[in-house]
């Protein structure tokens, strides 16, 4: 496991469902992992972004801190935000895979749904000769359609009471 992955996992483990925020000191974290503070900055800048569901607040100086806050939204709100704001008109393959990974990690989609989504937006599925920008536009439309279907399924599951046990 790479150091960035280890740092990310460590920070996520500090956060719990009950406590969706954590306050850290960059230098102490760098000392704990025996790395440069810039490595901590890299992890924060790439792994704890609003797209990934986090907000970072920081205060510099001797008593400075970093506060990482997980944005808590219902799965329906998260999907609607992604469909309207996050995806846009074009989505690269890497961005699509990252988005699918986040949805799986958050429990919004199942692993089976993630596998199907990855296949649908893969370079193999979009393997016909066309410009890359057209593939990215098609990938965005495909992701929006799949997320809309998932949102509809989730809405139905929330509205339908579980079957009663005949015993």
CATH number of the CATH domain containing 20: 3.30.56.130
- Residues 41, 115 share a domain: no
How many domains does the chain fold into? 2
Do 35 and 83 fall into the same domain?
A: no
Q: What is the pLDDT of residues 63-101, one digit of tens each?
A: 668 888 877 655 666 667 667 777 888 989 998 998 898
Q: What is the dihedral of CA 104, 110, 116, 121, to 10 degrees?
A: -20
Residue 134 in tokens = 């057209």
Average confidence (pLDDT) over 116-140: 92
Are 104 and 127 in the same domain? yes
Q: Is 39 exposed, middle or buried (0-12, 13-18, 19+ CB in 10 A)?
A: middle
- Among 18, 51, 70, which residue terminates a domain? 70
- 116 and 140 within one domain: yes
Quote the DSSP letter at residue 107: T
Helix (H, G, I), strand (E, B) or coil at 60: coil
Rounded to whole angstroms, the Cα distance separating 103 from 97 reads: 10
- pLDDT at residue 61 tops 70: no
Shared domain check, 143 and 105: yes
Its domain, for residue 34, covers 3-70
pLDDT band at 158 (very low <50, low <70, confident <90, very high): low
Mean pLDDT is lowest, of 47-61, 96-110, 111-125, 129-143, for 47-61
- 9 and 61 inside one domain: yes
């Amino acid at each position: 496991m790479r150091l960035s992955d280890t740092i990310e996992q460590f920070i996520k483990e500090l956060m719990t469902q009950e406590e969706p925020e954590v306050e850290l000191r960059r230098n102490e974290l760098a000392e704990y992992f025996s790395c440069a503070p810039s490595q901590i900055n890299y992890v924060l800048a790439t792994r704890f972004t609003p797209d990934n569901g986090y907000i970072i607040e920081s205060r510099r100086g001797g008593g400075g801190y970093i506060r990482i806050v997980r944005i808590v939204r219902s799965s329906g709100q998260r999907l609607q935000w992604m469909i309207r704001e996050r995806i846009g008109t074009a989505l690269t393959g890497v961005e699509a895979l990252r988005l699918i990974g986040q949805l799986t990690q958050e429990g919004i989609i199942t692993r089976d749904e993630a596998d199907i989504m990855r296949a649908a937006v893969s370079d193999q599925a979009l393997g016909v000769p066309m410009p890359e920008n057209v593939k990215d536009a098609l990938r965005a439309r495909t992701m929006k359609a799949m997320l809309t279907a998932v949102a509809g399924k989730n809405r139905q599951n929330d509205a339908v009471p579980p079957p009663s046990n005949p015993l």
